[in-house]
């Protein structure tokens, strides 16, 4: 390797180490940079011996930065190789953990900076244990790509509610041509407390669903109006509008969310068992399960497949 390439690679090691120190320092103070997935919120409180993992990351990046600067010293390169190896190994374990549970976009930035530090360090400096570092790096790279794809999918295809807020504690995924879905949606909207605590997420499982959704989504009406939502359960006109690209992506995002949950039928209800409403002086608790049980008729007698026409699901 010529001197220019070695200098360039060393610069990337230093830059990644410096950015890692800065990034971990800011997140340690609660900045929550690049926090766009559910995993960020879940892992925010993770630590060891009461100390945030971001603090350990800060120490590791600071060590990488300083050891790279003094890499000409006798013991600096072995210590740098050890630091990079441990950082890669521990981050690989955490990436495996994220692959099994929830991806974290903020943690992924840390992983990227670790990867750049290791790659550039191995390329620029004659580190001992170079082959072992490369081997760990290959395994790290596999899980880095996998978790990165999962994080991208969650950020790019965030579920979209036709009615209600994304922060609503109750989320209901439904199809306009699913009779059981219609029962659930009507009962929820007719109950004052559930209507205010629910987000309704439509999916299009067939062309009839798309036609009904197009009538509502491509209209100038306010989609948060319950009456407008109920229009979805009426047959679509033979000549109607087509869904635009934006609404197709929204509906695809909802279908991806169902697939990620492992569900194959709608209605799909996601909710805490008990929901609290009101202030401390006038609070009440209830569950959507109780609301649906108290209503006449069982909305779960039948359900509809989320990805194909279902012969047992008739509108």
Domain CATH for 9: 1.20.1440.130
Domain ends where: 130, 156, 182?
Answer: 156
Which bin fits 193, alpha (ψ -120 to 50), beta or left (φ > 0)? alpha
Residue 79 has pLDDT above 80, yes or no: yes
Bond into 267 cis (ω within 30):
yes
Instruction: Encode 140-159: b = buried (16+ Cβ within 10 Å), e = exposed.
Output: beebbeebbebbebbeebeb
Ordered DSSP codes for 268-299: EEE--SSEEES-TTS-EEE-HHHHHHHSSS-T
132 has a pLDDT exceeding 80? yes
Last residue of a domain, one of 156, 188, 203: 156
Residues 204 and 291 in one domain: yes
| pTM greater than 0.85 | no
Query: pLDDT digits over 166-188, tens only?
Result: 889 899 999 999 999 999 999 88
Integer Cα distance of 138 and 188 in angstroms? 50
Domain final residue, candidates 102, 133, 156: 156
Confidence label for 292 from pLDDT (cuts 50, 70 and 90) = low
CATH number of the domain within which 281 lies: 3.40.30
Indicate whether 47 belongs to any domain. yes
Domain hosting 107: range is: 3-156
Averaged over 198-217, what is the pLDDT? 92
Residue 312 lies in a domain: no
Based on the structure, what is the number of domains in the chain? 2
Q: Does 174 share its domain with 151?
A: no
pLDDT band at residue 276 under the 50/70/90 scheme = very low
Provide the angle, in degrees to the nearest 10, between the axes of the packed helices 76-100 and 105-124: 150
Mean pLDDT value across residues 52-66:
95
């Amino acid at each position: 390797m010529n001197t220019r390439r070695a200098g360039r690679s060393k610069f990337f090691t230093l830059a990644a180490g410096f950015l890692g120190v800065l990034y971990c320092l800011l997140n340690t103070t609660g900045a929550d940079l690049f926090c766009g997935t559910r995993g960020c919120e879940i892992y925010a409180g993770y630590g060891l011996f009461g100390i945030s993992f971001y603090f350990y990351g800060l120490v590791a990046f600071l060590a990488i930065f300083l050891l790279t600067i003094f890499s000409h010293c006798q013991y600096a390169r072995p210590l740098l190789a050890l630091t990079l190896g441990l950082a890669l190994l521990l981050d690989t374990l955490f990436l495996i953990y994220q692959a099994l549970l929830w991806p974290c976009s903020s943690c992924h930035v840390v992983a990227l900076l670790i990867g750049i530090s290791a790659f550039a360090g191995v390329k620029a400096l004659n580190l001992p244990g170079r082959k072992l570092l490369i081997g760990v790096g290959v395994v790290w790279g596999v899980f880095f790509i996998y978790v990165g794809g999962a994080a991208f999918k969650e950020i790019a295809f965030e579920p979209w509610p036709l009615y209600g807020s994304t922060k609503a504690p109750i989320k209901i995924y439904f199809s306009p041509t699913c009779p059981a879905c219609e029962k659930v949606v009507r009962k929820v909207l007719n109950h004052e407390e559930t209507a205010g605590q629910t987000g309704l997420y439509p999916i299009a499982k067939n062309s009839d669903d798309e036609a009904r959704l197009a009538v509502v989504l491509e209209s100038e009406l306010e989609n948060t109006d319950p009456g407008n939502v109920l229009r979805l359960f009426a047959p679509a006109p033979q000549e109607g509008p087509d869904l635009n690209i934006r609404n197709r992506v929204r509906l695809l995002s909802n279908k991806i969310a169902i697939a990620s949950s492992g569900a194959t039928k709608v209605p799909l209800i996601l909710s805490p068992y008990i929901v609290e409403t009101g202030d401390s002086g006038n609070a009440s608790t209830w569950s959507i399960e109780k609301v649906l049980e108290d209503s006449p008729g069982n909305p779960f007698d039948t359900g509809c497949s989320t990805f194909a026409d279902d012969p047992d699901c008739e509108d």
